[in-house]
């Protein structure tokens, strides 16, 4: 009996050995959609080249969709013709979930940073993306200018407005707004909304009402008022409705503007122009002194696999390769963000001191990704742009938001 | 009297100079930016103290710009040629036969010209996916021809109206077939309007962004407009390199326009006057 068992075991080992020796090398053509260019593009290309060196049978094509990424992906979703691997830019659950392959069984899935779970897991606990990084977003600040003006880091909306007033009086721009890209005013609304709605004692109640459809849209007026106060008090740049995002990093480096509501990647770009520029990011101001300033965090540079891809094995292998610590580190560093997997040491350069300074700061999720139906981002872009362009009022913008919210919820 | 004429001429010339200056100013700013470093924050109207060609080097890096110029040239050349041939052949019967059908067809073509192309983007995209036209030159060429033809047919029809029918009749008496009349008699008279159609539709296709963005996603197939857009992404914008790339990208068009401008102006005038 023992002999028979031994023989059986040996045969099994032999067979598995033969199978392993004859495992088909990966092959196929992998199409990846990203929006990386410049320094980030170079880093991503080096990762693709590394993967191809290890898997010569796989031909990888990186399709860079730049700033039209979302529009292109919408057309591709409508035609059910998606790339094998694509970036989900914070929308892996609410927008792309039905097109993505669950990735819970991938070896790197257990290493996902705990703080990301609320934004990248669905109600069944499934994860659909490799989260390379987490975006900790606040307000970008020209720190040298802040110090020169004798100002402290603002913790409340009132203090923030005071800083803008001082900057304006000294001939600087309080908040730089690149309104030609309608995402700029929408960023302000999206980032400041938690301050008025989800940062106080009634946060849970308001959050639940946003999710179940019973939200009182009268409360949104405070969010619109914040944006309008910046505009009406002259804290925004005079060309706030037409300025291009291309000038955001320049205005910080040239020490012309004090604050920008944008992601940290603008800082990385600014340091590419002048590595010595004293810039950073600070928490978003609380509504008043009874509440604390906060950061907004969540999924950022994440990639998922199209569930109908014909190259799923190669796509999984690519994500596994990208999940290696050295690659996560590379992406995190060029994007100025924190790693999305545990155990990755990142040299964030100029950003390190800011990450350390705000390590214990309260972090809230991206407002629209958790509390608004998919599609509301476009409405926020429209209403924010109309507000700074003087084409709408606080009330009208609120009504548009409510109408869009109700319509999109009814389409669910 | 003479004084008044001199004054009038002076005002005209000054006005012309002002209009020319307004038109040239964007190109001037573009060139100045292309010659400056990213750290040079001086006014965009002021030439750089020490000009640099680094932006041009960056724009030409990897040969992507030259490849994109070649890709655009291929698309424009094929699409414009077909727009001209098909447009002229369609315009001829529409101009010569004043039947109800011809008139309805002409009206229909005018109607098609009014439809904003992007309003039918999603169904168009789906169809191209179905026939495997995405990421192919023929896909974008078919689309460009489809949207260029109404203008072309409209212009040719108007122009052919100005050619006397007696010419056709004389050729017919000499034993020419309809095709011979078109290719031997009519086509040679269409040079001015052909230059206009070539420039109008050619420039449209050369400058197209939206359709090319959706149809051509492979990096190797990128056209000039798509290539230039890679200099503008969230958190990664290089205006100076984009300006340098734009300077290089507009050169071929300027050269072509200089060669064809005489025909272009003549064609516009002739096709406008019946």
> Which tens digits make up the pLDDT trace of B71-88?
999 999 999 999 999 999
Q: Is residue A317 a contact partner of residue A305, using CB atoms and an 8 Å limit?
A: no
A182 plus A105 within the same structural domain = no
- Residue A242: inside a domain, yes or no? yes
Confidence of residue B91 (pLDDT cuts 50, 70, 90): very high
Residue B274 has pLDDT above 60, yes or no: no
**Is B43 in CB contact (< 8 Å) with chain A?**
no
pLDDT for the residue numbered A21: 45
Closest-CA residue of B relative to A277 is B39
- Please tell me the pTM assigned to this model: 0.78
Q: Do A67 and B229 touch (CB under 8 A)?
A: yes
| Partner-chain contact B125 A75, CB within 8 Å | yes
Residues A19 and A96 in one domain: yes
Contact predicate A239/A412, CB 8 Å: no
Chain A partners within 8 Å of B219 (Cβ): 61-64
Burial of A276 per CB tally in 10 Å (0-12, 13-18, 19+): exposed
Same domain, A284 and A174: yes
Confidence category of residue B267, pLDDT binned at 50, 70, 90: low
Model pLDDT, residue A23: 59
Helices B64-96 & B100-114, crossing angle to 10 degrees? 150
A chain contacts of residue B126, beta-carbon cutoff 8 Å: 78-79
Strand-pairing partners, residue B135, are none
Residue contact A79–B230, C-beta within 8 A: no
Identify which of B235, B43, B34 has the alpha carbon closest to the alpha carbon of residue A252: B235
A159 & A293 share domain: yes
Assess whether pLDDT exceeds 70 at residue B235.
no
Does residue A351 sit within a domain? no
B78 interface with A at CB cutoff 8 Å: no
CA A321, CA A375: separation in Å to the nearest integer? 33
Report CB contact under 8 Å: A266, B235.
yes
Q: Please compute the mean of the pLDDT values over residues B206-229 and round it to a whole number.
A: 90
CA distance A265 to chain B (A): 5
- Domain region containing A370: 137-297+358-410
Same-domain pairing of A36 and A168: no
B residues 136-175 lying closer than 8 A (beta carbon) to A:
none
Residue A350 belongs to a domain = no
CATH, residue A376: 3.40.190.10
Q: Which residue has the higher pLDDT, B273 or A206?
A: A206
Nearest residue of B to residue A61 by CA position? B218
Position A121 scores a pLDDT of 87
| Residue A85 belongs to some domain of the structure | yes
Tell me how far apart the alpha carbons of residues A145 and A158 are, in angstroms, rounded to a whole number: 19
The residue ranges of chain A whose pLDDT is under 50 are 16-22
Q: Give contacts of B38 with chain A, Cβ < 8 Å.
A: 250, 272-273
* pLDDT (mean) for B248-263: 81
Q: Alpha-carbon distance A384 to A403, whole Å? A: 15
pLDDT for the residue A98: 92
CB proximity list for B84: less than 8 A, separation 6 or greater? B152, B194, B197, B198
The verdict on A125 and A257 lying in the same domain is no
* Alpha-carbon distance A48 to nearest alpha carbon in chain B (angstroms): 14
Same domain, A235 and A324: no
B266 and A CB contact within 8 Å: no
pLDDT at A38 (0 to 100): 76
Q: Which pLDDT tens digit goes with each residue over A63-86?
A: 988 778 888 898 899 888 999 999
Question: Residue A20's pLDDT is what?
Answer: 46
Asked if residue A330 and residue A276 are part of one domain, the reply reads no
Q: What percent of chain B has pLDDT over 70?
A: 95
pLDDT reported for residue A402 = 95
Searching chain B, which residue's CA lies closest to the CA of residue A335?
B235
Count: domains in chain A: 2
Q: Is A253 on the interface with B (CB under 8 A)?
A: yes
* DSSP codes, A244-292: -GGGHHHHHHTT-EEEE---THHHHHHHHH-TT--EEEEPBPBSSTTS-
Residues A173 and A211 in one domain: yes
Is residue A150 located within the same domain as residue A59?
A: no
Whether the CB-CB separation of B197 and B155 falls below 8 Å is answered with yes
**Phi, psi of A390, deg, nearest 5:** 75, 20
Q: How far is B211 from chain A (nearest CA, A)?
A: 11
Tell me the nearest-neighbour CA distance from A299 into chain B, angstroms: 16
Q: How sure is the predictor about B264, in pLDDT bands with cuts at 50, 70 and 90?
A: low
* Residue in B with minimal Cα distance to A252: B41
Does the beta-carbon distance from A78 to B219 stay under 8 Å? Answer: no
Q: What is the pLDDT of residue A179?
A: 94
Cα–Cα separations (whole angstroms), residue A383 to A284, A379, A386, A401: 21, 6, 5, 8
Residues A91 and A167 in one domain: no
Q: Are residues A209 and A110 in the same domain?
A: no
Tell which CATH architecture fits domain B55-272: Orthogonal Bundle (1.10)
- Look at B230 and A64 and tell me if their CB atoms are within 8 Å: yes
- Rounded distance between C-alpha atoms, residue B199 and residue B195, angstroms: 6
- Asked if the interface predicted TM-score (ipTM) of this complex is over 0.90, the answer is no
Distance (Å, whole) CA A322 – CA A408: 35
What is the Cα B27 distance to its own chain's centre? 18
- The domain spans of chain B are 1-52, 55-272
Cβ–Cβ below 8 Å for A78 and B126: yes
């Amino acid at each position: 009996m023992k002999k028979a068992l031994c023989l059986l075991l040996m045969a099994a080992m032999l067979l598995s050995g033969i199978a392993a020796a004859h495992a088909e090398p990966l092959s196929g053509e992998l199409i990846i959609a990203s929006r990386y260019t410049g320094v980030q593009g170079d880093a991503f290309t080096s990762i693709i080249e590394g993967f191809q060196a290890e898997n010569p049978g796989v031909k990888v094509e990186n399709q860079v969709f730049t700033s039209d990424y979302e529009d292109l992906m919408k057309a591709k979703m409508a035609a059910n013709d998606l790339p094998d691997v694509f970036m989900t830019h914070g929308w892996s659950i609410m927008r792309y979930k039905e097109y993505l392959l669950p990735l819970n069984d991938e070896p790197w899935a257990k290493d996902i940073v705990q703080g990301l779970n609320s934004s990248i897991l669905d109600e069944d606990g499934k994860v659909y993306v490799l989260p390379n990084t987490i975006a900790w977003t606040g307000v970008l600040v020209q720190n040298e200018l802040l110090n020169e003006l004798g100002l402290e880091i603002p913790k409340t909306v009132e203090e923030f407005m005071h800083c803008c007033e001082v900057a304006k009086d000294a001939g600087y721009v309080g908040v730089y707004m690149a309104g030609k890209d309608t995402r700029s005013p929408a960023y302000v609304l999206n980032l400041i909304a938690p301050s008025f709605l989800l940062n106080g004692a009634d946060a849970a109640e308001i959050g639940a009402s946003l999710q179940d459809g019973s939200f009182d849209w009268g409360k949104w007026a405070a969010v619109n008022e914040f944006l309008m106060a910046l505009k009406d008090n002259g804290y925004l740049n005079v060309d706030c409705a037409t300025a291009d995002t291309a000038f955001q990093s320049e205005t910080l480096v040239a020490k012309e503007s004090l604050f920008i509501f944008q992601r940290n990647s603008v800082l990385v770009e600014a340091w590419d122009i002048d590595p010595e520029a004293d810039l950073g990011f600070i928490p978003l101001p609380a509504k008043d002194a009874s509440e604390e300033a906060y950061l907004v965090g969540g999924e950022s540079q994440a990639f998922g696999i199209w569930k109908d891809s014909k190259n799923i094995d190669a796509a999984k292998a690519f994500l596994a390769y990208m999940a290696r610590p050295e690659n996560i580190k590379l992406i995190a560093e060029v994007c100025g963000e924190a790693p999305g997997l545990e155990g990755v040491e990142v040299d964030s350069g100029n950003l390190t001191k800011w990450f350390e300074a705000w390590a214990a700061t309260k972090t809230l999720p991206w407002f629209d990704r958790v509390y608004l139906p998919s599609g509301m981002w476009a409405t926020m872009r429209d209403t924010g742009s109309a507000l700074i362009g003087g084409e709408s009022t606080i009330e009208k913008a609120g009504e548009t938001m409510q109408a869009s919210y109700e319509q999109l919820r009814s389409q669910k | 009297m003479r004084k008044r004429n001199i004054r009038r001429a002076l005002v005209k010339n000054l006005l012309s100079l002002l209009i020319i200056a307004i038109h040239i100013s964007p190109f001037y700013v573009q060139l100045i930016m292309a010659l400056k470093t990213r750290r040079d924050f001086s006014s965009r109207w002021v030439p750089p103290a020490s000009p640099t060609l680094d932006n041009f080097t960056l724009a030409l890096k990897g040969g992507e710009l030259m490849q994109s110029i070649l890709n655009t040239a291929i698309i424009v050349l094929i699409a414009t040629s077909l727009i001209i041939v098909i447009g002229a052949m369609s315009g001829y019967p529409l101009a010569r036969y004043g039947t109800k059908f011809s008139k309805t067809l002409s009206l229909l073509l005018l109607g098609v010209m009014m439809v904003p192309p992007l309003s039918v983007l999603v169904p168009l995209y789906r169809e191209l996916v179905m026939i495997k036209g995405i990421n192919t030159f023929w896909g974008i060429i078919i689309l460009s021809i489809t949207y260029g033809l109404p203008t072309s047919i409209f212009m040719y029809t108007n122009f052919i109206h100005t050619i006397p029918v007696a010419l056709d009749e004389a050729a017919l008496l000499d034993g020419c077939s309809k095709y011979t009349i078109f290719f031997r008699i009519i086509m040679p008279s269409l040079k001015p309007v052909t230059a206009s159609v070539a420039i109008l539709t050619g420039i449209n296709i050369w400058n197209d962004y939206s359709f090319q963005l959706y149809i051509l996603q492979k990096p190797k197939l990128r056209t000039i407009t798509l290539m230039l857009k890679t200099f503008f992404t969230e958190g990664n914008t290089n205006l100076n390199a984009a300006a340098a790339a734009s300077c290089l990208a507009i050169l071929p068009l300027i050269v072509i326009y200089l060669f064809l401008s005489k025909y272009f102006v003549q064609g516009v005038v002739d096709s406008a006057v019946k």
